[in-house]
Structure 1
């Protein structure tokens, strides 16, 4: 008889760090699917990890400027020091290194933080919704009648095979779509509407994160839910209540899992 190992905190952290093998990852994902509160906490950890990677990744790869090198700092300190006591010099150099290093690696940290991960995707989806959902002349580039051509276009631009979620069971029919630019590369925008003038926008694009549980990203009067699976991010946005949009987003996610 196969014994299922319990999911521990170490497993959740290894899941966020993408250090689990395929079998254990599947067990953790099944565990999270039944525990929304834990899934939200894991999503927050994944977002924090992405924040740190984006904030410090490029900086960590930069060479330390010559003026901040230990040899240069020691030489400068010798020129101005009037106290040839080695203990005092070592302490002063250490303080200089810590202060200068903190200033160098912390530069830009007081600038407004830009959203990353699914939060960034949700913001992009909201912007697309505001821009195109109210357009009654040309909200989409290719209409539903040319869905095959739209799929080829999107798959080619995203370099990933995509499918069109069928939301008709939720009362929304597919209108068409277009490719829109984002700060993270091209994204596919799909639009749906019902018989009462309500429209939904789904935005999808490749992401670094392999899996991020669905989370509520509603803001500024626009409802939205975003998630990532198999390194593809999805965000469904609309001007309906989050409680109404949530089950529709779950259906779109269920269909995307079958790709």
Structure 2
């Protein structure tokens, strides 16, 4: 077997965004992006803009939103750098004007202000993380359910393809379980920390490659911060301080680069 891998070029990244790569090359590109968060973030932005433009050009009512028009403008500026063929550049401009005209006629008035779009909800895996945290708390209260503190990150990676972040030296693993989730096997860890007491670290492969910086997910009674590196997503869940939890998430995410 030839051990030399073809270097990933800008042309490969463009083809990745345009769905022009075969499966093996897409996997190589995704491995490349997983080690380069800045480049991955740019590529994910291009993918998002591409999909939003496709919605706009599809002519659905949902496409005609200010956010879609803005996406078309952003993509049109990107197209001038040669990312997609000139035909799509003209289509992006048309989508902007069509969206603007539709909004002008259907809004409250020619100078009306559209309704503010609410913040996007957290990803579905955050709900799974909350459920896993509740199950861990329940297990800890049951004498018949002994805790499993043996933690082997390499074995977890081999069995589930989930890469776990490096834990700080002053964290103590109290329990590790593999739970089912809507995305397949997930890892749920109960951890004792010096600063925040007991918290949960949840990890799962949500089936989508992305780079998400630590983000607070508001909930009732508990605090959670989620983030994603490549094809694995993580969530920290606790009843402790949100700001400290956010710092912990940043600390864990840094170990994955």
Q: TM-score normalised to the size of structure 2?
A: 0.50
Larger Rg: 1
Q: TM-score normalised to the size of structure 1?
A: 0.50
